[in-house]
Structure 1
């Protein structure tokens, strides 16, 4: 699985981490695989807390101080709750510390987190061990059982919840889970309520949303459509939109999937959000396809094109308690123009 040299380094890191964490017992996993951390100077009365997840449950015995986020967007919830991770996992944007522009204000004077990368073989175990974590968060993620077991040798691991697809946890639930793990349940509820109020205000201001059908897609290797459990689709439903009735039947038990040409009809909604690498080129290519170009949504230009590598595009994919207000300021006016009932209305460029 690893080369001999890499294997040697991994073994050394494992031994070092186990020696360090075996001497303390502030935190632990209920299955016995979790390691401990130093006890903080002032105990938080919220602890211990036990959190259920896909691979059982994990008990956090004391307030964590060295948090590593393996979940691709978990850092935003941590920051929203007043803590700064020592390590984050890079997903989109290549941001310093893997902290998007919607969240940098939460860093304060803290040290910028060390960025980990998922190279396609899972979390960077050696680097995580070197950070000496006392809590590892993998809520918005897809940890395997083997990866969970390995990481649990270093610190308590909160894996993705079992009631959702991998990478399918709603942002509200993500924030609540992380809030519990950090001993900040009340604060988590407060910040969730604040963002939900933003959604309610946008829906109330745009009653056409509740009468409209929408879908989120990307022209990736054909046409990739996001299902109802994907956070991007939940943005639409939280605003009042409905999704195509047989969307999940076509996609299956996944967060999204490429659809066949025969199911292009799924895209014929009142508004479609395209997350595109090059919006101008992708729009031209899509409209040249007779199957798509003949749909009303295309002919009436009720399409919202979002550049995926932009800060706006990254916020649309992050879907966190911090990225959502930033995203709503830009997306809501575009959706409103798309569903206003007048084909002559142009979808505006996003706000700066």
Structure 2
């Protein structure tokens, strides 16, 4: 079965559909819009979203984030949301964990607590236009102005910080982080040009299909960062159709034979994420040149939603490039 390359971020660890009971609660909770702090919406402006033009406060002061990608960028911009998603503590990169833990949680996996969101009196709700949030949009927008970053075949990880900065009025912070990222890409690309021209990478993740792992293309979020650095790709990732990913049996380790290096998803404590330990346990995996040579790279930033996440990917890649002579 083929999956889209970033159709399963941290918010999609649970089912995407709501039960009838949850919907009934949602409707009851959203019977009347809640308002934020007095004066927080005195000045407004219009922003473009997948749901059309949305009027939002010029200076939002009580932001609820219902997706990990918008949460991480808000924290990058030193904007403290009053409510955030809860899709699993183990998936929250360490740099955000302290702030994430102390903030009220407004989701439980794929289930949104509309009553809790309303009680927080947000003046703005932000997120990403993934399918289950798109379905929830009308109920969220009944609580407060709701602005989502686009999520479609043309979207890239860089869209999420860009839109989040616009919604939150954090353009200056965004510009500074983008500048830092661009400089880092240029530095690593230059310093390791020889290795980047010769080392071939495959991008993999533990799958949610029984007995399968996933191989990502060079247009996946991590693939795109590698590509921007000037990296080359081994046959498994190179053969994966842009915008999709391959779901293959754990037994098919031979697909990774020509990779010089592998990059995969870890939890924030460094342990393998999403059942990929089943792949790692196979002797045929341990015998792969990339693995036996010490070039299997784990990163908790595998599904980047912010510039700090992307910088974390570059750090992990650079650390391994140093080991190639």
Name the TM-score class by shorter chain: 0.7 to 0.9
Bigger-Rg structure (1/2): 1
The residue aligned with 1:90 is 86
**1:1-352 aligned within 5 A:** 1-3=19-21, 9-15=25-31, 18-21=32-35, 38-40=38-40, 48-53=45-50, 55-94=51-90, 100-103=93-96, 112-120=102-110, 122-139=111-128, 141-164=130-153, 169-170=156-157, 172-207=158-193, 208-220=195-207, 221-244=211-234, 247=237, 250=240, 253-254=243-244, 256-259=245-248, 264-265=254-255, 268-275=258-265, 277-278=271-272, 285-286=281-282, 288-289=283-284, 296-298=289-291, 301=293, 303-306=295-298, 313-318=299-304, 320-337=306-323, 340-341=324-325
- Shift of the 12–272 alpha-carbon distance from structure 1 to 2, 3 Å rule, reads same
CA distance in 2, matches of 1:92, 1:201: 34
| Structure 2 contact 127–149 (Cα < 8 Å) conserved | yes
CA deviation after TM superposition for structure 1 residue 116, in Å: 3.1
Give the structure with the larger strand fraction: 2
CA deviation after TM superposition for structure 1 residue 49, in Å: 3.6
CA distance in 2, matches of 1:249, 1:270: 16
- Shift of the 199–282 alpha-carbon distance from structure 1 to 2, 3 Å rule, reads farther
Q: CA RMSD in A?
A: 3.7
- Shift of the 229–158 alpha-carbon distance from structure 1 to 2, 3 Å rule, reads farther
CA distance in 2, matches of 1:243, 1:140: 30
Q: Deviations over 1:70-89 (max 9, x none)?
A: 12221221122231000111
Report the number of matched residues.
296
Q: 5+ residue gaps in structure 2? A: 1-18
> What SS class does the counterpart of residue 204 from structure 2 fall into?
strand
Q: 5+ residue gaps in structure 1? A: 22-35, 307-312, 342-352
The residue aligned with 1:26 is none
| Structure 1 contact 67–87 (Cα < 8 Å) conserved | yes
Q: Deviations over 1:34-54 (max 9, x none)?
A: xx87433985xxx5141232x
